[in-house]
Structure 1
Amino acid sequence: MAIDVRGMTPLIQVYDMPTSLAFYCDVLGFEVHNSSAPVPNCGWAWLKLDGVDLMLNTAYDDDDRPPAPDPRRIGAHDLCLYFGCPDVDAAYEYLLSRGVKARPPKVAPYGMKQLYLNDPDGFGICFQWPAA
């Protein structure tokens, strides 16, 4: 018998919570569902957008945070969040209008139209949908 799973909520470690919340909420449209303290200066936040859940947690306690992100930590990210997005081209135009650097959408060999970018912490994000 399989486990009865009803969803999944990834948690990613971020360097600067206000910057990450601005990206995920103000640019991508997520809303804060819950947080450990008032936003944006919280250490943890649970975000929601159209049935998609994502949690953010600060990578450092306030007194342990280095003055700048550690490039080794960012370089070690091996995670990409894939979002279903029926109009990948419109998402690309929207993101460009918001100043987000993204590569133009391309169709992968397996038939998915995909738009890749990185969040402020270097995590991969892909908006994708089956190509017409």
Structure 2
Amino acid sequence: MEQNIKLTVPFFMVTDMEASLRLYREGLGFKITKQWTPRSRIEWCRLERDAVSVMLQQLRKLNAEQSGPLGGGVTITYQCTDALALYHEFVEKGLEVAEPFVGNGLWVVSLKDPDTYRLEFASPTDVPEETTYSTWKKLRL
């Protein structure tokens, strides 16, 4: 049987499209591949980097059931070849990135976007569980 479901694309409502685009484009290296500009500015877009995509849409007003930050409790994990290379790239760009650690056999690099969606970039490793990047670097010297 042929696979029916082939791709998932996270779709985030954002409170400040310009701030979100700065992070995703300048900080994380995504490129806009599609956009909707009904009022002479981007209100929805699809961004891609390598084999992954994300969609952003400007929130027009809060729903009655919305309380707290939009991204509260939501984590998107991007599987990648070298999460530590991305860590160095993001730090070099001045992003606030948590110290990488090993969890479930993966280096995990995480940060939050302007609406507090947690973004994790993870790559396989044989480094022991719960090792932090700073500890691992000291052991390698």
Query: Aligned residue for 1:24?
Result: 24
Identify if the C-alpha distance between structure 1 residues 121 and 42 changes in structure 2 by more than 3 Å, giving closer, same or farther.
same
**Aligned counterparts of 1:76 and 1:7: Cα–Cα separation in 2:** 21
* TM-score normalised over the length of structure 2: 0.76
Unaligned ranges ≥5, structure 1: 66-71
Task: Please say if residues 85 and 127 of structure 1, whose CA atoms lie closer than 8 Å, have aligned partners that are also in contact.
Answer: yes
**Aligned counterparts of 1:2 and 1:81: Cα–Cα separation in 2:** 26
Query: Aligned residue for 1:90?
Result: 85
Unaligned ranges ≥5, structure 2: 127-141
**Aligned counterparts of 1:21 and 1:94: Cα–Cα separation in 2:** 17
**Aligned counterparts of 1:5 and 1:29: Cα–Cα separation in 2:** 27
Query: Is 1:12 paired with 2:12?
Result: yes
**Aligned counterparts of 1:101 and 1:54: Cα–Cα separation in 2:** 20
Q: CA deviation at 1:41?
A: 2.5
User: Root-mean-square deviation (CA), in Å?
Assistant: 2.4
**Between the two proteins, what is the percent identity of the paired residues?**
26
**Aligned counterparts of 1:76 and 1:115: Cα–Cα separation in 2:** 18
**Aligned counterparts of 2:80 and 2:123: Cα–Cα separation in 1:** 6
Query: Is 1:127 paired with 2:121?
Result: yes
Aligned residue type for 1:29: G
Larger Rg: 2
Q: Classify the secondary structure of the residue corresponding to 1:26.
A: helix
Q: Classify the secondary structure of the residue corresponding to 1:8.
A: coil
Q: CA deviation at 1:50?
A: 1.3
**Aligned counterparts of 1:75 and 1:54: Cα–Cα separation in 2:** 16
**Aligned counterparts of 2:125 and 2:58: Cα–Cα separation in 1:** 36
